[in-house]
Structure 1
Amino acid sequence: MCGIFGLLNYDNHQNLDFLKSSHDFLSKRGPDEFSFTELHKNLLFGHARLSISGKEFGKQPMKSFCGRYHVVFNGEIYNHEYLKKSLLKKITSQRIMDLSSDTRVFVEFLSLHGIEETIKKHAEGSFVVAIYDYLEKKITIANDNFAEKPLYYSLGNKHFIFCSRLLPISKYLKINPDIESLNSSLLKVRNIFPNTIFNGVKRLGPGQLIEIDSKLSFKTKNYIHNSFNKKENKNNSNSFKSKNRPFKKNLDYFEEIFSETIKEMIPKDQKVSALLSGGIDSSLVSIYLAKNLSCLETFTVSFPDQEYDESIYAREVATHIRSKHNEYKIFPSDLIEIMDNYTDIIDEPFGDSSLVPSTFIFKKIKSKGFKITFSGDGGDELFYGYERYRYLRMSLWMDKFPVFLRKSAAAILEKVISIKYVNLSPNIRYKLKKAIDNGFHLMTSREIYNLLIQQNSNLNIFSNRLDNSKNINSIFSSLHQSEMHFFRTSDIANYMYEDTLVKTDSASMASSIESRLPFLHPKIASFALGLDYKVHMHNFKTKSILKYLLQSHLGKEFITRPKKGFSLPLDKWLRESLNSWMKDNIDAAKSIIQSEEMITYLDELIISLESGDRVSDALWPFISLGCWYKCIKK
């Protein structure tokens, strides 16, 4: 992964200011080389490189051999070796060595097939790319269908500017934070697409393609990669009627393509590592990596509080696959160090505290000399992995019955979740209790979903996150055969796009590490999206396909334990060792919050925390805001 930037400028601003800001903020995304090219007197493209392959021939910005296209590219084309074979038949022998870079392969495919066909049909990977077409005199920017790599842009009367990070744009244009947007972001993990905390600066969405010509005319369109087209791709499970196939055959087919995908994603000339939390997804990724590597190093974070610590399970998997396992314990002092350097990692207030352990472990991976780490991100969203799906499915079933029967069922559920040994995480247990207290039996399934995903469920001015799935072009819109599919779509459009991918990219890039996510590979994703939710929830289990596959390697006992997630023992820390640090950052947040209602609510949260309630999820966005604000004022 790298960092890219560009500026089409008809104003009197000095381009050097933008270059300096881009260099400073992209140095960790691309530590190996920083370069830029003036394509003409008003347009420049630039690139900060993290070299993975083809170091000698991968210098960017890169111009096509035919001279028509100039490109800056961030990401990885996983099938570039396959694409390279077809290029070898059409390229001169003097140019063959140049094809060692996946970017060069991509650029030459542009020359042969054009922009949209290359992106929609040929390139499989995680990427964002900016292309200048000298013939048509226009810029095209596009990303993959999940938008794994961030890109921000701003269009003005006399400029168009883009960058892999947000702050170089805001600093160059001298834009102050938008307070209304800032207040809104406190109610969610971060700002809802396409907006950012800076007015006029937007984020490129999943599967989005934008075009800007020399007159600053702006067009946007959405595309779907052919991998997700059930008529054209055999890997899409709809194409082989998976709903009518025995579960075992779906499982066997998934194992086949998962094994192939992991093998394809392993680079030839770089050693790789894996995040291993001990959960289902990271364990599967590590197992299949180990099958293809002579020695795999795995990494995990452990927590002082046993209620949150899954490191024992990570050790079990590491022993099974014989990986060289690295385990690091995180303490409150590590959290302070990370959060006090907030904008070195991320450019906006971010309401998910798992950014902290993620940043912590990537630093440790970097210290061992790795540039590439594999992760299990995306497995929960694509394969129905969250515990809430079981209760949402239950609520849909309960909708068929009269109120008095639903009330009886809610009473039974309340008794079940009060039993300590019932297989529930602390977080889902707490939120289900909240749902019951708020009239679970009278709620629609969408109301229950919204309550289960909220961080600030006590605040009566929150926005309904379900609406965000309407704002994002989704490759999943045609798959809304049921409410359950709709909930998954919302999790992909909201939680994965707005949270998981932002966290993983920011945390890994802060340590100059490329993260690779096999579950978002088009082959795997198209398979998962095509399966009916009843297949995914076979025998009423969440993500059955993944669990049964893991069971075949590690046994049944391993998959029946509760999911803890990558969570800190934050409530305890905020009550004890981090209490004064928390209040200092909340005071900083209060200084820019304009809503008296929100400030009153914040004070109530602190009282609840100190009374022993679990409210760290609701407090963290305010703490994050305070850390962010103090950093940008420096």
Structure 2
Amino acid sequence: MIPSRGHPLAKALGHENHIIKKIDSSDVEDSLKLTPTICESPFDDTSVIPSNIVFSAIKASGYSVALTGDGADELFCGYSSFGNLNKLEKLLDKKFDFLIRFPGKIINGLLSRFRYFDLERLFMNEKDLLVDLSCNGFKKREWQGIIRSDYDPLHYVTTILKDLSGLRPLDKWRILNLKFKLPYQMLYKVDRASMFNSVEARPLFLNNDIIDAALSISSSVMMEDGQKTILKKLYQNQIPHSGWNLPKTGFGWKTNSYEKIFNDEANSFLKRQIKIDGNALLKRRKMHHKRAYYGLFSLVSWLESRM
């Protein structure tokens, strides 16, 4: 937590036993080096880096159990993707295919030449958009043609979607988050980082009663006043603090030197081992470059550990 926000919050809540850790670049570098050991598999979510630092600080302070907020964004529509999808939802109606989807195939071909424009989602159909949103690292549209394989790594997502026919896109996205991204990305990260530091993480929002209550509220109602508003209103009545008005921020790796972790030498190794050109993938990447570099770093580290 940012000290300027953490101290006033702890004071307002009356918490005397709180931990606020100031993180410097050496903490980040040390944690980055440990991520291959922590994850034991390729994992492209950079938030595992600060997660390890947090659980390490908790352990160093003498605690063995930590409560986490995992599941709140999935249950109460907190991610920015919910807000973005809510705006696009009406355009996903098949009646707009003639006006949007078909001309979009031509427009996308032109836009793909420009690295910093990523407007392809505007022209996707519902299924393709939901699958694209489910990808944390490289999107399928970014690696198609570079990685040649008969295996579809997104078959889990498409299988889940088959059982959700008849639901509106926002409801499908909420369930996809709960069934796919939460267990295989968020909870995996928390479990790995906490257990690495011998800390037991308990995600309090995944209590059965809370899950049942949240899922009894439609996504439409959840999004009436914005992302995660219902949850904020519930807690505002109990915790009066201006922190509720702060914008949602990411919990990832903040750096401008991410390109140092995947260089030409690492790319040559990757091409020798599995015939994948990481630099070609990076050229396809339009946004969130740190995830791309970190994903390749994670893959190379995993391959090296198996040699």
- Does TM, normalized by the shorter one, top 0.5? yes
Query: Higher helix share goes to which structure?
Result: 2
Task: Spell out, residue by residue over 1:31-59, the C-alpha distance to the aligned partner (whole angstroms, 9 max, x if none).
Answer: xxxxxxxxxxxxxxxxxxxxxxxxxxxxx
What pairs up with 1:9-28 in 2 under 5 angstroms?
none
1:445 aligns with 2:126: yes
- 1:456 maps to which of 124, 129, 138: 138
Distance between the aligned counterparts of 1:366 and 1:586, measured in 2? 36
Q: Is the 8 A contact 2:143 2:281 kept in 1?
A: no
Output the amino acid matched with 2:156.
N
Identical aligned residues as a percent: 24
How far off its partner does 1:506 sit?
A: 0.3
- 2:189 maps to which of 483, 499, 503: 503
Determine the structure 1 residue equivalent to 2:201. 515
- 1:374 maps to which of 67, 75, 78: 67
Q: Is the 8 A contact 1:588 1:629 kept in 2?
A: no
- Of stretches 347-356 and 317-326 in structure 1, the one that deviates more from structure 2 is 317-326
Q: Is the 8 A contact 1:338 1:356 kept in 2?
A: yes
What pairs up with 1:322-401 in 2 under 5 angstroms?
322-323=14-15, 324-399=17-92
Determine the structure 2 residue equivalent to 1:546. 231
How far off its partner does 1:395 sit?
A: 1.6
Output the amino acid matched with 2:200.
E
Superposition RMSD in Å: 3.4
**TM-score, scaled relative to structure 1:** 0.40
How far off its partner does 1:492 sit?
A: 1.8
Change (3 A) 1:469 1:522: farther
How far off its partner does 1:588 sit?
A: 4.5
Distance between the aligned counterparts of 1:587 and 1:311, measured in 2? 42
Distance between the aligned counterparts of 2:218 and 2:152, measured in 1? 26
Determine the structure 1 residue equivalent to 2:243. 558
Determine the structure 2 residue equivalent to 1:320. 12
Q: Is the 8 A contact 1:385 1:543 kept in 2?
A: yes
Q: Is the 8 A contact 1:376 1:518 kept in 2?
A: yes
Q: Is the 8 A contact 1:384 1:537 kept in 2?
A: yes
Determine the structure 1 residue equivalent to 2:289. 615
- 2:257 maps to which of 541, 564, 573: 573
Q: Aligned to 2:198, what secondary structure does the other structure show? A: coil
Runs of 4+ in 1 over 6 A off after TM superposition: 403-407, 462-466
Output the amino acid matched with 1:574.
Y
Query: Larger relative contact order (C-alpha < 8 A, sep ≥ 6)?
Result: 2
Q: Aligned to 1:619, what secondary structure does the other structure show? A: helix
**TM-score, scaled relative to structure 2:** 0.77
What pairs up with 1:86-125 in 2 under 5 angstroms?
none
Distance between the aligned counterparts of 1:375 and 1:508, measured in 2? 11
Count of aligned pairs? 282
Distance between the aligned counterparts of 2:69 and 2:294, measured in 1? 24
Distance between the aligned counterparts of 1:450 and 1:465, measured in 2? 11
- Of stretches 337-346 and 390-399 in structure 1, the one that deviates more from structure 2 is 337-346
Q: Aligned to 1:333, what secondary structure does the other structure show? A: helix
Distance between the aligned counterparts of 2:76 and 2:177, measured in 1? 11
Q: Is the 8 A contact 1:366 1:513 kept in 2?
A: yes
Distance between the aligned counterparts of 2:159 and 2:288, measured in 1? 32
- 1:531 maps to which of 195, 213, 217: 217
Distance between the aligned counterparts of 1:526 and 1:601, measured in 2? 45
What pairs up with 1:214-229 in 2 under 5 angstroms?
none
Task: Spell out, residue by residue over 1:451-503, the C-alpha distance to the aligned partner (whole angstroms, 9 max, x if none).
Answer: 4443223514288776414657x9xx689743222111111222111110110
Distance between the aligned counterparts of 1:487 and 1:335, measured in 2? 32
How far off its partner does 1:553 sit?
A: 4.1
Q: Is the 8 A contact 1:468 1:490 kept in 2?
A: no
Q: Any gaps of 5 or more consecutive residues in structure 1?
A: 1-299, 301-309, 408-432
- 1:592 maps to which of 273, 293, 303: 273
Change (3 A) 1:465 1:389: farther
How far off its partner does 1:563 sit?
A: 1.6
Distance between the aligned counterparts of 1:574 and 1:391, measured in 2? 27
Q: Any gaps of 5 or more consecutive residues in structure 2?
A: 102-115
Distance between the aligned counterparts of 1:341 and 1:362, measured in 2? 13
Change (3 A) 1:348 1:564: same
Change (3 A) 1:358 1:530: same
Distance between the aligned counterparts of 2:73 and 2:223, measured in 1? 12
Determine the structure 2 residue equivalent to 1:484. 170
Q: Which has the larger radius of gyration?
A: 1
Q: Aligned to 1:326, what secondary structure does the other structure show? A: coil
Distance between the aligned counterparts of 2:69 and 2:206, measured in 1? 9
- 2:280 maps to which of 601, 610, 617: 601
Distance between the aligned counterparts of 1:360 and 1:513, measured in 2? 12
Distance between the aligned counterparts of 1:478 and 1:530, measured in 2? 16
Q: Is the 8 A contact 1:340 1:631 kept in 2?
A: no
How far off its partner does 1:434 sit?
A: 4.9
1:468 aligns with 2:156: yes
1:626 aligns with 2:300: yes
Change (3 A) 1:501 1:329: same
Output the amino acid matched with 1:485.
D
Output the amino acid matched with 2:38.
I
Change (3 A) 1:600 1:523: same
